[in-house]
Amino acid sequence: MYKYIIEGGFPVKGRIRASGNKNAALPCIAATLLAATPVTLRNIPEIEDVQVMFEVLRSLGASVERLGPNAWRVDCSAVQSFEVPASLAKKIRASILFAGPLLARFGKVILPPPGGDTIGRRRIDTHVLALEELGARFDIDGALKFSANKLVGADIFLDEASVTGTENAIMAAVLAEGVTTIRNAASEPHVQDLCELLRAMGARIEGLGSNLLRIEGVKALHGADFAIGPDFMEIGSLIGLTAVTRGELVIEGVRPDELRPIKLAFGRLGIKWSFEGSDLLVPSGQSMKVQEDLGGQVPKIDDAPWPGFPPDLTSIMTVVATQTEGEVLIHEKMFESRMFWVDKLIGMGARIVLCDPHRAVVSGPARLRADSLTSPDVRAGMAMVIAALCAEGRSTIHNVYQIERGYENISERLRMLGAHIERLEDC
């Protein structure tokens, strides 16, 4: 286990390239099971969750070869097993993404309950609903078990716009007989990346970027060479870090259109940036002042399915709000336990009223003090890093495994930008 030692009060400055989108990498890795020939994946972040997904593929009989930095070649032609090992499934929530492709390939799958972050209830009902609509039978007997004589296209209305539920439905439908329509589908950029990979492999998918997908099943898919997009969650984290440390940063390799919902929310806190092609420029001298709503109401930043503000950034915005002049309501509607970590911020000196499991009122700016913290999950862990980097004194963050599951070489990359952060063994 490792910990971070962080000395606060030093602005970040320089240039950094955005990592590949973690939430695109994971379903794309699972989708390689559908290809009869090798798939090359590029811009894959070097993070723990990716390595666990590759280990699952190896355990099933796949060949996984590293071609170079962030590039991998996956050959699943020899895969014979349809059972995901429990020891790997419990490490990562994304193990649920093997349900769709294994069911499509073998007509059956055995999947132990997935692990991952503890941020409230994370239902699998949507996955079950979608796969049953395609003809699967479902049972729970110490593990999740799906089986089907054959998958047949259907008109599916998802009970919620679940990202991984949509992705499993897509991966099962591309090899199903006939046409599948998925309504109330998730449309996040990472869902679009998965669809683009599948189309490069020979799938027939229409409606990318919308909540209505039409999939015409094909008999087989082939290999492809595909690069996933940048991680807009990491980009949002870096923007927040730059603002609260009063720094100046250029983030290379972004997709400006994917950042529009994030830009609206940051704008409510007086934070702006500009683009030069695929470079994002965060200038120094941000106003850091809450922009009041018309009528003088307390402004609100709340999350929603895409194209709403992403829930994974509510933790980051909470920290940013502590350094912003004014009062703002942070409303996390999608995960009922995600706000409970703010007591750590309060202990550092933040002025926050936790109204209930979903809402917190933040008043700023507050002088944060260094503290000893433990990361509870990926995004709250990164929020703690940001808080420590703008706090007075030296902080320690334990359980940084949780952070490094989602952020590639983050301590080293931040150090190159001038952050005072060390990664040490946690005895």
Question: What domain count does the chain have?
Answer: 2
Q: What percent of the chain has pLDDT over 70?
A: 98
Categorize the per-residue pLDDT at 127 as very low, low, confident or very high, splitting at 50, 70 and 90.
very high
Tokens of 427: 């005895």
Last residue of a domain, one of 227, 246, 264: 227
Last residue of a domain, one of 202, 227, 252: 227
**Average pLDDT over every residue of 398-425:** 96
Residues 179, 77, single domain; the answer is yes
Residues 181, 256, single domain; the answer is no
- Return the CATH number at 267: 3.65.10.10
Name the residues annotated as catalytic.
117
Q: What is the pLDDT of residue 122?
A: 57
Residues 185, 284, single domain; the answer is no
Residue found by looking up tokens 């929530």 in the block? 93
Give the separation between CA 142 and CA 122, rounded to whole angstroms. Answer: 18
Report in angstroms the alpha-carbon separations of 8 from 98, 244, 265, 316, 418: 41, 11, 25, 17, 11
Residues 271, 358, single domain; the answer is yes
Of residues 295 and 104, the one with the higher pLDDT is 104
**Average pLDDT over every residue of 299-303:** 94
Residue range 185-239, pLDDT digits in tens: 999 999 999 999 999 999 999 999 999 999 999 999 999 999 999 999 999 999 9
Give the separation between CA 425 and CA 410, rounded to whole angstroms. Answer: 16
Residues 374, 246, single domain; the answer is yes
Residues 180, 57, single domain; the answer is yes
Residues 287, 160, single domain; the answer is no
Residues 237, 223, single domain; the answer is no
Residues 39, 89, single domain; the answer is yes
Residues 245, 125, single domain; the answer is no
Tokens of 318: 């909470």
Question: What does the chain come to in residues?
Answer: 427
Residues 106, 176, single domain; the answer is yes
Residues 365, 253, single domain; the answer is yes
Tokens of 306: 């895409």
Give the separation between CA 247 and CA 14, rounded to whole angstroms. Answer: 9
Residues of the domain holding 400:
2-19+230-425
pTM over cut 0.85: yes
Last residue of a domain, one of 178, 197, 227: 227
Give the separation between CA 2 and CA 420, rounded to whole angstroms. Answer: 16
Beta strand 279-282 with 248-252: parallel, antiparallel or unpaired?
antiparallel
**Average pLDDT over every residue of 41-63:** 97
